[in-house]
Amino acid sequence: MPITSNPLSEAFALSGVSKRYDTVVALDNVTLSFSAGSTTALVGSSGSGKSTLLRLLLGLEWPDQGVVRVDGRVLGKDDVLALRRRVGYVIQDGGLFPHLTALGNLSLLPHHLGWNRERIRQRAEELADLTNLPRGVLERYPAELSGGQRQRVALMRGLMLNPDALLLDEPLSALDPIVRYELQDELKPIFDQLGKTVIVVTHDMAEAAWFAERIVLFRQGRVVQDGRLADFRDRPTDGFVTRFFQSQRRLGESSV
């Protein structure tokens, strides 16, 4: 199932999607669409359903109600394997296999698809250059990498097959502020240049606005506001939006 690169088309969409885990409502009647080639940030408090939404788009979870469409077609169980090849998925701690080197981690899926070693190495080196990872680091195990290097490798793994879309679940949250800032700086042009559909989950409004013109705020499984940073600041839809916006501490604030 290709995800079209036509910028006018819809890469992902949810219509009336609800998802529960026992008594917990993770998503409550959510309707959203993400156009091809766009970058969108999902923000919201903990447990508001952001990760569940990404997992639904990947076919890792299924809605109780409503439909998920990818590239205009309702996502079905038969599409999932093909979809995994077309969508890179990066999670907070990278999710690298500890017993494999960085290159070993990058090789898994391409090897499974029949790529030879040379092709895998070439692609890995190309992505190392793109993400500013020294090539020598490819031979190291995850425990021998810094947090920032691990996330670079996780991102490279997401990009190995040159997917049409990247779904990033708090990819920078575990990093120290300097590395996080550097990676924000490095990733933004990568997202802009590659022309992929990017959906990034973050808790941080400033990070959301840095990466994406469109920000979607969730609360308790529902979309509270969908717009640009200025809309959240100047035209909040309710008091929660204002509280969420104002809860982001500014530099210079101090309790003493």
Ligand X SMILES: Nc1ncnc2c1ncn2[C@@H]1O[C@H](COP(=O)(O)OP(=O)(O)OP(=O)(O)O)[C@@H](O)[C@H]1O
CB 24 to ligand X: min, Å: 5
Binding residues for ligand X restricted to 61-120, rule: CB under 6 A: none
Q: Which is nearer to ligand X, 43 or 155 (CB)?
A: 43
Q: Any idea which residue has 């779904």 for tokens?
A: 167
Q: In angstroms, give the least distance from the CB of 249 to ligand X.
A: 18
Residue type, 15: S
Give how far Cα 113 sits from Cα of 70, 93, 120, 219, Å.
22, 25, 11, 40
Residues near ligand X (CB under 6 A), total: 11
Q: How far is the CB of 87 from ligand X (least distance, A)?
A: 18
Nearer to ligand X, 48 or 105 (CB): 48
Of 54 and 75, nearer to ligand X (C-beta) is 54
Residues 6-65 that bind ligand X (CB under 6 A): 21, 24, 26, 44, 46-52
State which residue, 121 or 203, has the beta carbon closest to ligand X.
Answer: 203
Pairing of strands 165-169, 197-201: parallel
**What region does 2 belong to: left with phi over 0, alpha with psi -120 to 50, or beta?**
beta
* Beta-bridge mates of residue 74: 69
DSSP, collapsed to helix, strand or coil, labels residue 6 as coil
Give the per-residue contact string, 135-174, with ligand X (x = CB under 6 A; - = no). Answer: ----------------------------------------
Q: Which is nearer to ligand X, 203 or 228 (CB)?
A: 203
Whole-angstrom distance, CA of residue 253 vs CA of residue 62: 43
Which token pair is 250? Answer: 């500014």
Over the Cα atoms of the chain, what is R_g?
19
CB of 238 to ligand X, least distance (A): 18
Angstrom distance (rounded) from CA 153 to CA 109:
14
Interacting residue ranges for ligand X, rule: CB under 6 A: 21, 24, 26, 44, 46-52
